Chains A and B, each alone.
Chain A
Amino acid sequence: MNNSKTVTIELEGRKIRVPEGLTVIEALWDTGHDVKRGVGCLSGLCGACTVAYLEKEGRKVKFGLGCHKVVEDGLNVIMLPYFPARLARYLLESMENPLMQLAEIYPELYTCNDCKACNICPEWINVAGVMKAAKDADYETATGHIMDCIMCGLCASRCPKGIAPQHVALFIQRALAKERAFPPNLQKRLDQLGSHQFTAEWDSIATMGDEELEVKCRRPEGA
């Protein structure tokens, strides 16, 4: 372990010294844990490496991502790579007004009493706020902040009512998208494609020599 500084942590229930500056995942690797289930993008986006930890002198268990949480002396940490959460089955394309059916699809949402236990999001999403807005049918507000949701499911692990906020929010996100008017610029381009009006251009490209094409591609202004 050279001369580098070390810290003593409690890792998966085992007290052990590791070099300072490691993330929780790196500390697990360093101590011989063959972690596959709790590893993914290593960039904080896949939500696979959720951890629960207690800091030195800390009173409350906190939650975070193993690829970002850097170990410090006295840290007591475990991986929590998965937590059961109910995922409703629905076929969006066969639903006329999906948002009207939210209560059938995720009835548990309406048992939410705004206890805010779910506000432990590693992406700093105000999950309780999202659930409250969803319950109040203010769907635009509800989806306003969930673009950052990485579906790690930590919020669901804390809910005493068994709500899976990540799945509820995703349903609302999809339903809202379906309700939106089709974008005019895309429609226009699709119509053009449907009428095969680019055929001549493509034909001319197909017959071009490499050099001629190169010149054309460098100056696409005329295109």
Chain B
Amino acid sequence: MYPDDMLESIENIAATRETRKQAEMEMLPEEAKAKLLSRFHPDYKESAFRNLRIGVNRGARTTHEIADLLEAFSDLDYSKIDLTPEYDTDLLVLGGGGAGVTAALFAESVGARVLLATKLRLGNSNTIMALGGMQASVDEHDSLLRHFCDTMAAGKQIGRRDLVKALVEDGPRVVKWLLDTGVDFDRDEAGNLLTKKGGGISAPRLISIGDHTGLNIMKVLKDEIGKRDRIEISEFTPAVELTTNESGECNGAILFDLGRKRHFAVRARAVILATGGSGRLHMQGFPTSNNFGATGDAIVLAYRAGAELEGVDSFQYHPTGVMFPEHMLGVLVTEAIRSLGAHLVNARGERFVNELETRDVCAAAIIRECENGNGVSTRFGKTGVWLDTPLVEEISGKGFLRNRFPSLYRQLMRVKIDISRRPLLVFPTLHYQNGGILIDEKGETTVRNLFVAGEAAGGIHGRNRIMGNALLDIFVFGRRSGLAASTKMCNEPGNLTLNHVYSYYDKLKSLRISSVARSPTLFPEFIVNKL
């Protein structure tokens, strides 16, 4: 339940609802957008960034949080680790989200033996939290080229053309694969895939399964992977280091058994890193919508092995993360609510941005309002703006929110907040790592036999990702990397060594770099901030 001071503010915004409904809100011209972003988007806050002092991307800009990890040593005492492999497999997949599972399924389907290791439970990932939908160009008013253009434009033209082309062109194909596997997407009366529009998307292109798209896809894939004989699953065993052979090619990993608290080595002919993003590093102190395990391990492991990174100075702050009640801090409120007409409203009851602008623009506009004193403060010292959910209920009819967004509705009803009657306090939440480890269109990195798929990969989304492209990305590049990695089945992996780590450490020492951080992080240090 909202405290009294917030209820007062809620009355203020209810008072302007009628006038807001009548008025149009123009989309911002390009110049104004650029100015807004450079002043208020966290990616442009220079004091939050520094240049890397070591490694392939030496001199490149990244956040302090990531630089700290890349310039750090590991907690591991390597001399105590037995490098005799306990597992010897064709393909080692690290990560049990959509990208990892897809890669494993495709690799297995062409005959590879796969070990899939994951930090938490299989399927416990950001994939399940993809609510609104997945982009795939299937509508008759749409084209692959439009999808390509939208993706490039949203990413400020930084995305690699060949990767974006692969993304959009494989879209319809992976949708077919998902349908064949037993995933059911929403349909229209004619049996066509139902397509919807979203922020930054120029034609109806979002396909979805109610409001739980990622969850329902993951359920099916998880069910499917359990039925494949050549795939072995290892849960609660995060990777803490990659291994390389004498030629510097990737040939396995050191995993950590969380239960037994011991390390063990896995040898493989190829490795796919699909461990997702880095939201739990809480860049610049932002709350995050990410899974508990999203601590950017892939970047650390791959970078030490010599893989090139791209765009790790660009993150997506989803405009609408929950700011109140506090135990839900950072939890995502789907973009679909804005697509359906919910206004973003400041403390004075004014609308301040067109809600269908791209995510970076909406987020920057919210931050601007809060910094300019137009935000609403909570008793925990947080500030946000209102997402006028009752307006959606007015537009679409009574009971609409409950039926259309049952999960969100329930979550808030548990704390006695009825989103059909009261708005939600929101603020940008760290949502997605736009960059990552650079891949080619087969998913291979600059390190031989090391592949990356999903959020950990870089080069696709440029400096801003549009809604629905992440879910597509994990299947497209999961499939591509799984198939490409399987072609390495006749490789001779060689002996496991940690030579790359030793030389990386020697470099760190010679540069007199001493970071207090220890990496990979594996789990965020949880601070109960109400103490």
Interface positions of A (Cβ within 8 A of B): 1-2, 4, 19, 21-23, 26, 29-30, 36-37, 39-46, 48, 68, 70, 87, 89-93, 123-124, 147-151, 167, 170-171, 173-178, 180-186, 188-190, 193, 198, 201-202, 205-206, 210, 213-214, 216-218, 220-221, 223
Contacts and interface: CB of A to CB of B under 8 A. Distances in A.
Contact of B523 (A36, A147, A176, A183): A36
A40 B120 contact: yes
Given A149-B219, A220-B145, A46 B406 contact: no
Contacts of A36: 120, 236, 258, 523
Nearest to B120: A40
Given A184-B192, A193-B169, A213 B414 contact: no
Contact of A123 (B169, B209, B293, B410): B410
Contacts of B125: 41
Given A70-B415, A173-B182, A48 B528 contact: no
Contacts, number: 202
A46 B192 contact: no
Instruction: Give me the 8 closest cross-chain CB pairs, A-B, nearest first.
Output: A174-B182, A177-B184, A220-B149, A223-B145, A217-B149, A40-B124, A185-B192, A217-B153
Contacts of B182: 92, 173-175, 177-178
Given A170-B223, A193-B169, A206-B161, A39 B120 contact: yes
Given A22-B530, A30-B528, A46-B124, 19 more contacts: A21-B530, A22-B528, A36-B120, A40-B120, A40-B291, A43-B289, A44-B411, A89-B226, A93-B180, A150-B215, A173-B220, A183-B191, A185-B195, A188-B140, A214-B153, A216-B149, A218-B30, A220-B145, A221-B202
B212 interface: yes
A90 to B, nearest CB: 7
B148 interface: yes
Interface string B404-443: 0011001100110000000000000000000000000000
B85 interface: no
Contacts of A150: 128, 215
Contacts of A19: 528, 530-531
Name the residue in A29, A201, A217 with the highest tally of chain B Cβ atoms < 10 Å from its Cβ. A217
B36 interface: no
B291 A210 contact: no
Contact of A22 (B169, B215, B220, B327): B327
B192 to A, nearest CB: 4
A190 B176 contact: yes
Contacts of B202: 220-221
B49 interface: no
Given A19-B530, A46-B291, A174-B220, A193 B123 contact: no
Name the residue in A39, A93, A123 with the highest tally of chain B Cβ atoms < 10 Å from its Cβ. A39
A186 B292 contact: no
30 contacts: A26-B327, A30-B531, A37-B121, A40-B293, A41-B126, A42-B291, A43-B331, A44-B411, A45-B215, A45-B407, A48-B121, A68-B411, A70-B327, A124-B406, A170-B220, A173-B182, A173-B184, A174-B223, A177-B184, A177-B220, A180-B184, A186-B172, A189-B137, A189-B138, A193-B169, A202-B165, A217-B150, A217-B157, A218-B30, A220-B145
Contacts of A21: 326-327, 530
B9 interface: no
B157 A45 contact: no
B172 A183 contact: no
A40 to B, nearest CB: 4
B180 A124 contact: no
